[in-house]
Amino acid sequence: MIRALMTAASGMKAQQLQVDTIANNIANVNTTGFKKNELAFREMLYQTMKEPGAPTGQSQMAPTGLQVGSGAEVASSIKLFRQGEVIPTGNPLDLAIAGPGFFQIKPGQGDVRYTRDGSFRLDGTGAIVTSEGYPLQPAVTVPPDATEVLIGEDGNVSIMQGDSGTAQQIGTIALFRFANPSGLKAQGGNLYSVTSSSGEAQQAAPGVSGAGTIRQASVERSNVQVVDELVSLILAQRNYEINSRAIKVSDDMLQQVNNMVR
């Protein structure tokens, strides 16, 4: 009965983390480029009371043995990098990635981050930066006399100047891929950092070597499906409730044992 109390408690703790994860997904349903988190669970250690195949008599053995589990725990959380919906915005510096890949951002000296959020702007020098002012890498600077910025699906950045009618290329936006994108570490602010699990960033031109293409004047929405999250939330709530009921049953059994002594 004491084991049942601890086992059910481990289930409640696991479901609490599940609810926390679902709440974060729902909170970021309108966050540009957000990728949903999903938890993976695993069973905890077993107490073996009888080994499978243990001898029970002459030339006889136990066919299954006897093991009792001690509950469940959260094994890991994973980012699901499924494609989010690409929606038009009308802003020529809004960029969406259709397919695999990340933009590279430089938030500080000698430090780089990666993002799927392509809500870019121009700073006072004409450099393309994020809404926080972090410059895009490799850097692209738009001249102050540019009348129009054109960004192709291949990442080539061109501008129109005056009434020339001829587009002039001023740079290229690169994408970066990883062997294991789910191994990236989320840093907040729609930014990810490299880990040993993700592997090193591999630069690729948009549309080449498996990288996605760039859609100008569009952004990628979160890939969270609210209906799926609500269903998962109901399941987590019911699982939490059932585990709490197992604790109550164990407590009632202990109370009956105590009453027998009186």
Which pLDDT value is given to residue 51?
84
**pLDDT: which is higher, 65 or 140:** 140
Least confident of 51-65, 115-129, 136-150, 186-200: 51-65
| pTM across the whole model | 0.88
Share of the chain above pLDDT 70, in %: 98
Residue 2 has pLDDT above 90, yes or no: no
| More confident of the two residues 218 and 55 | 218
**pLDDT confidence of residue 1:** 62
Return mean pLDDT, the chain.
92
Q: What is the pLDDT of residue 261?
A: 66
3-state DSSP of the chain: CHHHHHHHHHHHHHHHHHHHHHHHHHHCCCCCCCCCEEEEEEECCEEEEECCCCEEECCEECCCCEEEECCEEEEEEEECCCCCCEEECCCCCEEEEECCCEEEEEEECCEEEEECCCECEECCCCEEECCCCCEEECCCECCCCEEEEEECCCCEEEEEECCCCCCEEEEECCEEECCCHHHCEEEECCEEECCCCCCCCEEECCCCCCCCEEEECEEECCCCCHHHHHHHHHHHHHHHHHHHHHHHHHHHHHHHHHHHHC
pLDDT band (50, 70, 90) for residue 151:
very high
